[in-house]
A = this chain, B = another copy of it.
Amino acid sequence: MSLPEAVRWSADGRAVVILDQSRLPEEERYVSLSTAEAVAEAIASMRVRGAPAIGIAAALGLALELSRSTALAPEAFWQRLDHATLRLRGTRPTAVNLTWALERLRGVAEQNRARTNGEVACAVYGEATAILEEDRAMCRRIGEHGLSLFPEGELRVLTHCNAGALATGGMGTALAPVYLAHAAGRSVHVYVGETRPLLQGSRITAWELQRAGIPVTLIADSVAGFVMQARKVDAVMVGADRIAANGDVANKIGTYTLAVLARHHGLPFYVAAPTSTIDPGMPSGREIPIEERSADEVRRGFGRLTAPESVPVYAPAFDVTPAQLVTAIITDRCVLQPPYAKTLRAVGEVGRELVPAGGVRESGSGSGSGSGAGA
């Protein structure tokens, strides 16, 4: 099994290599970026996407920028750090762990402020690498925990959007159990909805599964009910953008419909996400703000007018699935069961301790990156 990597170091460690997702599915093209500006441009233009992958790319980009700036005078060096951080952070202001990753690097730089430029750059480079490696490990643990829910037989799941390798530094969140099962020689089959309007399911998930040799069947989103009725899948497995303290889950629009369908058909509905996706400050899903997208993504999403030019469109980017429809939440730490208000609080508090306060990371922690893989 060969998984594409959304973001990684180049062989010599002097560039960030990203898979240009804007070229998918036509072309698997990797681009090598060696400045913070180039990485920022790639994030802004969604050539790299998915909250964890964005955080990693930004971290690697910032580390590179410092490495090539060590010859500057100290003041200019720290100015460069400030400017690069601002530029990277401004690319996708809503991606939680873009900010999280950059603050984590800033914390490490500050801890080394008394040292030489070279030593600061080196420490930041190490921290950026740690963010990447932790994310990979976190994906694997989510995979292992998820797989424990499917002890035997064929793994037949329905997923939505992209919560796979291309959204993370590793093997993804919702798709991680599938990849692990396949690697262990088990039979797997994934149904994926195309995920209108931006088609992350067909453009990205179908592509990465097919490339990894995983049997995948693409469906229009509206076919999901029929697929469950025909018993072609045994579970729904999705990522999450944010999980409220009561277990309500915000994820890509269409997720809620799948949760209702799963309940109707007696199928389990699983959410896979790193612990850091839990937001203890958000009492329930009602408080989660829902971004609305441009009407033209629905009216002319394919470069062609497919609806009356001026017809009103309601295009929320996310929806909220109430906790009572969620069978389990699969995290990098454990599988959480209801009542979520209780189980999330336990894990959330642990998670908070490990999440850097003011950019300082607890040494030896493996808390992963700051958000889910659904964006």
Contact = CB atoms under 8 A, between A and B. Distances in A.
Contacts of A199: 306-307
Contacts of A220: 196-197, 221, 253-254, 298, 315
A223 interface: yes
Interface stretch (A1-9, A139-147, A187-195, A367-375): A187-195
A106 interface: no
Contact of A222 (B195, B232, B305, B309): B195
A203 B302 contact: no
Nearest to A209: B311
A287 interface: no
B218 A298 contact: yes
Interface stretch (A54-62, A238-246, A256-264, A356-364): A256-264
Most buried by B among A216, A225, A319: A225
A344 B320 CA distance: 39
Contacts of A260: 225, 260-261, 264
26 contacts: A25-B308, A25-B309, A193-B222, A195-B222, A197-B220, A199-B306, A202-B307, A206-B307, A210-B310, A215-B312, A216-B311, A217-B312, A218-B312, A218-B313, A219-B298, A219-B313, A219-B314, A219-B315, A220-B315, A225-B256, A226-B319, A227-B314, A229-B320, A260-B264, A261-B261, A302-B306
A167 to B, nearest CB: 17
Contact of A223 (B263, B301, B312, B314): B314
Interface string A10-46: 0000000000000001100000000000000000000
A362 B207 CA distance: 58
Given A210-B308, A302-B302, 11 more contacts: A193-B222, A194-B196, A195-B222, A206-B307, A210-B311, A215-B312, A218-B311, A220-B253, A221-B221, A222-B253, A263-B264
Nearest to A307: B202
A220 B160 CA distance: 14
A225 B257 contact: yes
B308 A207 contact: yes
A222 B306 contact: no
A24 to B, nearest CB: 8
A253 B230 CA distance: 13
Q: How large is the interface on A (under 10, 10 to 19, 20 to 34, 35 or more residues)?
A: 35 or more
Contacts of A156: none
Shortest beta-carbon contacts, A-B, top 6: A222-B254, A302-B302, A225-B257, A202-B307, A196-B220, A221-B222
Contacts of A219: 298, 313-315
A232 B202 CA distance: 29
Interface string A253-278: 11011001101100000000000000
Contacts of A311: 202, 206-207, 210, 216, 218
A303 interface: yes
A316 interface: yes
A261 B253 contact: no
Contacts of A302: 301-304, 306
A7 B312 CA distance: 27
A235 interface: no
A214 to B, nearest CB: 11
